[in-house]
């Protein structure tokens, strides 16, 4: 597939993400195409991880030894390095383990797209594809600038080859964590688009819109009056016509619907001349066709509700599966972000507020890298929480739409489908979480509280440690 060419299916839209995941070891690769190689993928994963582990350990040994750090700073840098190493291993293993579930989720979304396409929804993968391409390009630019700054900082402490190896190791770590969050984002974005399509289909097939196109009922006396001209009116007045119709209808209550219509029509038309009888027969035939079309519309509406109810249920199942797959990985990522931001703020406090370190060009470059990574982490959690919140709102808004639009429908079968649809959404609401952490706007508030609390504790502990000469 050529770059920047509009994708024709979901597989083409997400192909860059799948390819990158296989390159960095997050997914089982296929060779030849269509034949999975889990054992070879596991070996490849372990090789990449060993190279990453050596590069990360080298940075801690070679770089920090030349910088005079505070006691708490040294402890935090060291423990954060090892936590990051272990979390990368967890993400790689879980990504490899859940490869089949990922493929099953993608196949389920393709089936849902085909169903929605048959119902009239136009499937458009352009937005997903260009989001993926734009994010990858932005990530490459950010990674390039960060690597250049880190290389300038470390070149005075080690030889260029070791520095390049260390930079590649940390770039690999950021790529793994970024791809996990980004694929989660893409999945949720796909689900949001499908929930939105369900709401659009419900609005487009609203019974209010159908009522404007077609009158309900079999025969209306007002339309009879419109057919009659001046010649017709001298045979029977409108009031007499209406009374006669009511008497005939009342006298045939115990007859079947079909027999009643025929007998009423014959007796009713016997009061008119032949040329008027033909006009009334034509009108009755048109009304009968409209009545049959109304029945067909009601059946289509019921089928639409049944289909969309099943589609909504399948989307909820996919949502739960995605939360189960990414739950541990996203929770680990949130923990790393909290620790990194807390450490970054403490780092800035010791350098620029208390001025525990002499401000040099190297310190300013370190600060630039720290700020860039902090902004990257913050933007990542903001975009992830916002897309989860929007997708959940779209999925739960369906119950409001079906009750506001279809609640006035008098069809008993349609009312039953509406009630079942509403109970289904109430019992299984759309919600995205990561190992018990709700992914919505509240996650940012939670992280802010945790960062503030631990930052105050770290400042107090650091002052105590620095004043204690025995440590």
**pLDDT tens-digit series, residues 384-419:** 999 999 999 999 999 888 888 766 655 556 778 788
Across the chain, how many H-helices and E-strands are there? 16, 2
- Residues 119-167 have pLDDT tens digits of 888 878 888 998 999 999 988 988 888 888 778 777 766 677 777 888 8
**Whole-angstrom Cα distance, residue 149 to residue 152?**
5
Residues 80, 182 within the same domain: yes
Q: What is the pLDDT of residue 297?
A: 62
Residues 297, 180 within the same domain: no
Whether residue 450 contacts residue 423, with contact meaning beta carbons closer than 8 Å, is answered with no
pLDDT at residue 255 tops 70: no
Please give the share of the chain, as a percent, with pLDDT higher than 90: 29
Structure-block tokens of residue 371? 């700020």
Domain count for the chain, please give it.
2
Q: What is the pLDDT of residue 26?
A: 92
Residues 35, 174 within the same domain: yes
Tell me, yes or no, whether 449 lies in a domain: no
Q: What is the pLDDT of residue 334?
A: 92
At residue 290's C-alpha, the angle toward residues 284 and 293, to 5°, is 145
- Residues 1-33 have pLDDT tens digits of 556 677 888 888 899 999 999 999 999 988 887
Which of 290, 320, 350 corresponds to the end of one domain? 320
**Whole-angstrom Cα distance, residue 82 to residue 338?**
15
Q: How far is CA 94 from the centre of its chain?
A: 21
Q: What is the pLDDT of residue 232?
A: 39
From the CB of residue 351, how many other CB atoms can be counted at a distance below 10 Å? 19
DSSP string, 420-451: HHHHHHHHS----EETTEE-STHHHHHHHHHH
Residues 45, 158 within the same domain: yes
Q: What is the pLDDT of residue 274?
A: 55
Whether residue 163 contacts residue 154, with contact meaning beta carbons closer than 8 Å, is answered with yes
Residues 221, 140 within the same domain: no
pLDDT at residue 331 tops 60: yes
- Residues 171-190 have pLDDT tens digits of 899 899 999 999 999 999 99
Confidence of residue 58 (pLDDT cuts 50, 70, 90): low
Residues 148, 263 within the same domain: no
**Whole-angstrom Cα distance, residue 218 to residue 291?**
6
- Residues 259-274 have pLDDT tens digits of 444 554 455 445 545 5
Residues 135, 81 within the same domain: yes
Tell me, yes or no, whether 250 lies in a domain: yes
At residue 326's C-alpha, the angle toward residues 180 and 35, to 5°, is 75
Report the chain's mean pLDDT, rounded to a whole number.
76
pLDDT at residue 55 tops 60: yes
Residues 174, 37 within the same domain: yes
The dihedral formed by the CA atoms of 400, 402, 405 and 407, expressed in degrees to the nearest 10: -100
Tell me, yes or no, whether 94 lies in a domain: yes
Residues contacting 268, CB < 8 A, separation 6+ = 244, 245, 248, 280
Confidence of residue 207 (pLDDT cuts 50, 70, 90): low
Range of the domain at 269: 206-320
pLDDT at residue 59 tops 60: no
Residues 16, 62 within the same domain: yes
Tell me, yes or no, whether 219 lies in a domain: yes
Tell me, yes or no, whether 459 lies in a domain: no
Structure-block tokens of residue 221? 């006396």
Interval 359-363 mean pLDDT: 65
Q: What is the pLDDT of residue 451?
A: 92
Tell me, yes or no, whether 14 lies in a domain: yes
Interval 59-75 mean pLDDT: 63
Q: Look up the pTM and report it.
A: 0.78
Residues 245, 198 within the same domain: no
Residues contacting 420, CB < 8 A, separation 6+ = 309
Tell me, yes or no, whether 4 lies in a domain: no
Q: What is the pLDDT of residue 316?
A: 93
pLDDT at residue 445 tops 50: yes
Residues 179, 295 within the same domain: no
Residues 293, 385 within the same domain: no
Tell me, yes or no, whether 462 lies in a domain: no
């Amino acid at each position: 597939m050529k770059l920047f060419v509009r994708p024709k299916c979901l597989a083409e839209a997400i192909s860059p993400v799948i390819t990158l995941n296989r390159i960095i070891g997050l997914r089982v690769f296929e060779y030849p195409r269509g034949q999975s190689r889990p054992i070879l993928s596991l070996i490849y994963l372990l090789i990449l991880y060993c190279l990453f582990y050596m590069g990360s350990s080298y940075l801690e040994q070679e770089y920090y030894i030349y910088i005079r750090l505070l006691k708490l700073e040294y402890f935090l840098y060291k423990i954060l390095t090892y936590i990051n190493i272990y979390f990368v291993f967890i993400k790689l293993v879980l990504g490899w383990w859940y490869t089949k579930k990922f493929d099953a989720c993608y196949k389920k979304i393709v089936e849902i797209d085909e169903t929605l396409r048959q119902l009239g929804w136009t499937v458009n993968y352009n937005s997903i594809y260009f989001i993926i391409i734009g994010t990858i390009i932005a990530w490459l630019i950010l990674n390039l600038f960060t690597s250049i700054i880190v290389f300038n900082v470390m070149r005075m402490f080690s030889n260029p080859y070791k520095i390049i190896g260390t930079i590649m190791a940390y770039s690999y770590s950021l790529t793994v964590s970024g791809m996990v969050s980004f694929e989660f984002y893409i999945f949720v974005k796909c689900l949001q688009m499908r929930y939105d399509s369900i709401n659009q289909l419900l609005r487009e097939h609203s019974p209010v819109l159908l009522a404007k196109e077609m009158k309900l009922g079999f025969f209306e006396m007002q339309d009879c009056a419109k057919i009659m001209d001046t010649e017709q009116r001298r045979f029977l007045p409108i009031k007499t016509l209406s009374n006669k119709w009511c008497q005939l209808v009342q006298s045939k209550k115990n007859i079947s619907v079909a027999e009643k219509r025929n007998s009423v029509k014959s007796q009713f038309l016997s009061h008119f001349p032949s040329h008027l009888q033909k006009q009334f027969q034509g009108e009755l035939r048109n009304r009968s066709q409209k009545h049959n079309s109304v029945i067909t519309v009601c059946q289509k509406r019921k089928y639409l509700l049944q289909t969309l109810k099943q589609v909504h249920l399948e989307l909820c199942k996919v949502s739960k599966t995605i939360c189960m797959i990414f739950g541990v990985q996203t929770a680990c990522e949130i923990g790393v972000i909290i620790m990194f931001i807390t450490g970054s703020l403490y780092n800035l406090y010791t350098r620029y507020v208390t001025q525990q370190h002499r401000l040099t060009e190297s310190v300013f470059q370190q600060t630039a890298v720290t700020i860039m990574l902090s902004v990257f982490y913050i933007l990542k959690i903001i975009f992830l929480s916002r897309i989860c919140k929007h997708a959940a709102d779209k999925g739960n808004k369906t119950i409001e739409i079906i009750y506001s639009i279809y609640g006035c429908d008098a069809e008993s079968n349609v009312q039953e489908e509406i009630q079942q649809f509403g109970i289904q959404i109430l019992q299984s609401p759309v919600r995205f979480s990561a190992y018990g952490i709700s992914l919505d706007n509240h996650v940012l508030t939670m992280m802010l509280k945790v960062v503030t609390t631990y930052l105050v504790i770290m400042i107090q502990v650091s002052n105590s440690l620095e004043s204690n000469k025995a440590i």
